[in-house]
Structure 1
């Protein structure tokens, strides 16, 4: 993950607070929130980069995340204005405990106005080009960042990072071949919620 990803994840860890996001422009509908097309991004910057048009805490329906095993009621958001770019982030936990194997997963979804080319320039050594539902993407697996699998999807405004941490239930890392297990299917399921 690039410098901005590490900074954004650190900020998410420090600034994240339990929430059930909502705003004046959102309309509650059952367990879901229907957002209007006029919602203003939570954070903008003065960098001249496009505004971040996809907010992972607002634009991915809770029922979709719950169906994937993540407790959307406990998601956390953080506003991350970085001056030269912006990230909107949302953190989830999935506690599908398998004794002796894993305690579950942690998932961070970051939406930012950094380009995919910038991300590739930072992480060329660990990035593999791919596509998700026809959208240009990268898969990043760094053997020094144990138990982590990252998918980075290109958007009109920049990129979206799906970074999952595998919580092992034993000493040492999980086998590297398991770090991305199921991630392609999961990200493919979420990609249609990205408008651009």
Structure 2
């Protein structure tokens, strides 16, 4: 075999190995705000409504490294989809390694306006990386806090529960502590346009 064909073979094998990598090449560095665009694909579930398809799937579009950056264990993933005929929520649940927090990440095609109306009694409007969002917590639901982020297809909900293991609720100041930072990490992966 001459050296020209040997080089071609080495290049082909290198390209084949690189093409099989499961690590995303468009993943931002931890702590950056560079937008990442997930690949277009048919959603895992399409409802029977005329609502937009859910284009961001937290179970598929959030790399393990991003979950770890946010403090959650990718190995604890459990499906949290809610898929009636009228709308779709694709979701996954995660725990922190020490089980202090449980997190549901739900991507749905209800509109941000619907979410605002539903939560108007207890939500506060905030901003997550330039997107409109709602910080949601209720005094009668201790140890829980959620953020709904506006998307082009609907909303992304980052919903966290605190597990203290003492049987007593945590102080109210702890319910939402750090959740906006977590939402900013995940927002980087949502498409900016339809």
TM-score band, normalised by the shorter chain? 0.7 to 0.9
**Residue equivalent to 2:111:** 115
Runs of 4+ in 1 over 3 A off after TM superposition: 30-36
Q: Which is higher, the Rg of structure 1 or of structure 2?
A: 2
Q: How does 1:122-137 map to 2 (within 5 A)?
A: 122-137=118-133
70, 78, 95: which one pairs with 2:72?
A: 70
Deviation at residue 167 of structure 1 after TM alignment: 0.3
163, 177, 181: which one pairs with 1:181?
A: 177
- Tell me, in whole angstroms, the C-alpha distance in 1 between the residues paired with 2:189 and 2:105: 13
CA 1:33–1:161 in structure 2 vs 1: closer, same or farther (change >3 Å)? Answer: farther
Is residue 106–residue 166 contact of structure 1 (8 Å, CA) maintained in 2? Answer: yes
Which stretch of structure 1 is more off in the superposition, 78-87 or 155-164? 78-87
Is residue 74–residue 94 contact of structure 2 (8 Å, CA) maintained in 1? Answer: yes
CA 1:121–1:28 in structure 2 vs 1: closer, same or farther (change >3 Å)? Answer: farther
Please report the TM-score for the alignment, with normalisation by the length of structure 1.
Answer: 0.77
Please report the TM-score for the alignment, with normalisation by the length of structure 2.
Answer: 0.78
Deviation at residue 164 of structure 1 after TM alignment: 0.2
Deviation at residue 45 of structure 1 after TM alignment: 1.0
Question: What 5-or-longer segments of structure 2 have no aligned partner?
Answer: 1-18, 27-36
- Tell me, in whole angstroms, the C-alpha distance in 2 between the residues paired with 1:64 and 1:186: 10
CA 1:79–1:141 in structure 2 vs 1: closer, same or farther (change >3 Å)? Answer: closer
Q: How does 1:9-158 map to 2 (within 5 A)?
A: 29-30=21-22, 37-96=39-98, 103-158=99-154
- Tell me, in whole angstroms, the C-alpha distance in 1 between the residues paired with 2:44 and 2:80: 10
Q: Which has the higher strand share?
A: 1
